[in-house]
Structure 1
Amino acid sequence: MAMLISVGEGSGPPGAGWSVSEGVFDCIVEATRKLFKDDEVCCLNEIYSPLDDQGQNFIVLDYVDVRCFNLFYSYCKRAMEDFPRSERGGVVPESHIPGILWNWAEVLRLRREDSRYRTFK
């Protein structure tokens, strides 16, 4: 089953995003989810609500504010960097890791094209 990370806003119409296999989707969104802190639960809920509360096959960043959007981006990037050494990365066949990371990089690239994306130094 294809799963979607919906971006919308600056990178296309609402619902535009990156479609990946369920396994790759789980690697990306669950590794990212783990990095959210307790005081960031509002952003987490807003992004993950379709998946968690509605049983849909996507998460949505279309309408989140700049703060939540960039929080997701920074955690997604960090999760990608840590993935090959992570617990989940350790159970994925080594030959699959480059493909997972390529898709992950594309998810991040789409985020950088969005008007809400900010670089922080």
Structure 2
Amino acid sequence: MSQHVWINFDESIEPDNRFWITNRFVFSNIFNRAKALFRPAELVCQEAGYQEWGIEGLELSYVDKNCFSIFCARCEETFNKYPDEKAMEYENSSEDRRGTYEHVAWEWTEILNRLRLDVRCDPVWIAEYIIKNP
């Protein structure tokens, strides 16, 4: 089953860069890990980013700038910790799973690139936020 991440409706961004479609395995690997890193003070932003749109995925178009930036920061933070022990255990559990983490990482990079295209993803704001909220 396909899972979608709708990032925005910004017409200044090419249509293919406004969303990402993947499978449930990759989607869960990325977004369940990122969701787990939200701090208690960020629960409102976590709810905004993870408000599911049916069973198809995430809709981020209506998330405000600060919460969107926090969402981006948590996705980036999680990516920097990947592959983790859980991913490597899965990878090494059978021969047909070899290369799984590389595929997840590649798709994750594509999603991060699309998130960064959005004007709500403010690298300066994110850097300051991370310093203030380690």
Q: TM-score, normalising length from structure 1?
A: 0.85
Determine whether 1:105 maps to 2:104.
Answer: no
Q: Which amino acid aligns with 2:69?
A: N
Q: CA deviation at 1:2?
A: 0.6
Distance in 2 (CA, whole Å) between partners of 1:64 and 1:86 is 31
2:33 counterpart residue number: 31
Distance in 2 (CA, whole Å) between partners of 1:103 and 1:32 is 14
In the alignment, structure 1 segments of 5+ residues that lack a partner are: none
Determine whether 1:118 maps to 2:122.
Answer: yes
Residue deviations 1:72-97, cap 9 Å, x none?
11110111121212424432434111
2:65 counterpart residue number: 66
Determine whether 1:56 maps to 2:58.
Answer: no
2:82 counterpart residue number: 83
Classify 1:66/1:101 alpha carbon distance in 2 versus 1 (closer, same or farther; 3 Å): same
In the alignment, structure 2 segments of 5+ residues that lack a partner are: 92-96, 128-134
Classify 1:88/1:96 alpha carbon distance in 2 versus 1 (closer, same or farther; 3 Å): closer
Q: Which amino acid aligns with 2:68?
A: F
Q: TM-score, normalising length from structure 2?
A: 0.77
Q: CA deviation at 1:49?
A: 1.8
2:6 counterpart residue number: 6
Distance in 2 (CA, whole Å) between partners of 1:60 and 1:103 is 18
Distance in 2 (CA, whole Å) between partners of 1:31 and 1:87 is 11
2:81 match: secondary structure: helix
- Tell which structure's C-alpha radius of gyration is larger: 2
Contact 2:87 2:101 in 1 (8 A): no
1:84 match: secondary structure: coil
Classify 1:106/1:87 alpha carbon distance in 2 versus 1 (closer, same or farther; 3 Å): same
Q: Which amino acid aligns with 2:115?
A: R
